[in-house]
Amino acid sequence: MEQDLRTILGNMIPDGFINWLEIDLSAIENNYHELIRISQRPVMGVVKANAYGHGLERISQAVGHAGGNWLGVARFEEAYQLRKAWIETNTLVLGYTPPEWAIQAAVDKISLTVFDRKTALAYSEAAASRGMRVKVHLKVDTGMNRLGIQPQAALEFLRWLSGLPGLDVEGIFTHFADADEPVDPSVDVTVTQIRRFDEVLAGITAAGLRPKWVHASNSAGILNFPNARYDLVRAGIALYGLHPSPDTILPGSFKPALTWKTILTLVKEVPAGSGISYNYRYFTKSNERIGVIPVGYADGFRRSAKNKVLVGGTEVSVVGHVCMDQCMVLLDNVPQAMAGDEVVIIGEQGSQTRTAEQVAEVWEINNYQVVCGMADRLPRFYS
């Protein structure tokens, strides 16, 4: 359900839609250029999870348009979807790929992450049986304690990997566990991770085994650790113009790309003492103007007693439980509001702004979870 924003004139509502996302691709390109400017390195656009909810194909095209040569995804099928859409940019699957996909990876020139011998050997045998090679990046676990081989095993593993006939070792990388938190150099987790990674790199370089692409930094790492940029950096959250964490704020030159809008489908007066929505978690205090908006938890809009949205350029409260597809808002401070009016969940309206970070705070989660939680059923409009 992708449609060009050209069909939406100014503030008008796209015909027939009642709950939708508007994605500003020029913001994505701007943020990509900012990441290049700051890092002075090639930037891998991390587009896993439907590009953090922004839409895999259109965001990947925007990264290409901005000059990007690398995309990062979490699963093989995400990379495969890119190839099906004729997006041929170098693509690295950052997570585990079952050997069943090895031949397809070789055919589509999709780079895979390796971290154990059994899987690496299976990739090699599958590709070699067709006279092909799979491109791989070796993942080193310097302290995230998720995927990756232990640093002390890296040199020997890489030597073995490089000898496999069906593989082309093009990269080595690690991932930071804590690059978004304030730095205390004496105990800092990231400082330790960088030191371990540098030790691995010294060893493999001395052995003449250093692959072409060495990479480590995520968005927070790019901003906080200039000594960890190596040959390539991997940016997800910053590409979308969202802050890596409350401690790691983007420079003002970044722009959020996403706006989430809906409309008032009904406005009515409800007498004092009326219970609103399931389980009556809110009672009207007087004769109150209540609006209905077609946004619910099935869209990724979570239950909280503190939800706010923008109506008529004013912040209003969501009252009562959020239902699956709808919820109610209190409109007493926007007397002019009427059915059909635009409502902003994330984005700007008049002089007011609601950020993904504010929504995250209300839901007691982080901004990554807010945007990744936006449902597939929300139509996405691009400009």
Ligand X SMILES: *Cc1c(COP(=O)(O)O)cnc(C)c1O
Kindly provide the b/e burial profile for residues 215-231, where b requires at least 16 CB atoms within 10 angstroms of the residue's own CB: bbbbbbbbbbbeebbbb
Helix or strand run (H / E) with residue 224: helix 219-224
Q: Which is nearer to ligand X, 61 or 218 (CB)?
A: 218
> In the bound complex, which residue of the shown chain has the CB atom lying closest to ligand X?
236
Give, as ranges, the residues between 170 and 199 that touch ligand X (CB under 6 A): 175
Q: Is 255 a catalytic residue?
A: no
Spatial neighbors of 222 by CB under 8 A, at least 6 apart, are 35, 38, 39, 229, 233, 235, 238
Q: Which is nearer to ligand X, 70 or 101 (CB)?
A: 70
Q: Answer yes or no whether residue 284 interacts with ligand X by CB under 6 A.
A: no
Q: Is 118 a catalytic residue?
A: no
Q: Answer yes or no whether residue 46 interacts with ligand X by CB under 6 A.
A: yes
Asked if 349 and 363 count as a contact pair (C-beta separation under 8 A), the reply is: no
Q: Answer yes or no whether residue 38 interacts with ligand X by CB under 6 A.
A: no
Name the β-bridge partners of 266: 292
DSSP-derived pairing of the beta strands 90-93 and 110-114 = parallel
- Taking CB under 6 A as the binding criterion, the range among 81-89, 236-244, 246-254, 310-318 that sits at the site for ligand X is 236-244
Here the tokens at position 313 are: 């350029």
Name the β-bridge partners of 71: 45, 91
Single out the catalytic residue among 84, 212, 268, 278: 278
Least Cβ distance, residue 10 to ligand X (angstroms): 32
Q: Which is nearer to ligand X, 25 or 46 (CB)?
A: 46
Q: Answer yes or no whether residue 28 interacts with ligand X by CB under 6 A.
A: no
Q: Answer yes or no whether residue 219 interacts with ligand X by CB under 6 A.
A: yes
Specify the amino acid at residue 176.
F
Q: Answer yes or no whether residue 68 interacts with ligand X by CB under 6 A.
A: no
Chain residues in the site for ligand X (CB under 6 A): 46, 48, 94, 175, 218-220, 234-238, 244
What are the catalytic residues? 48, 278
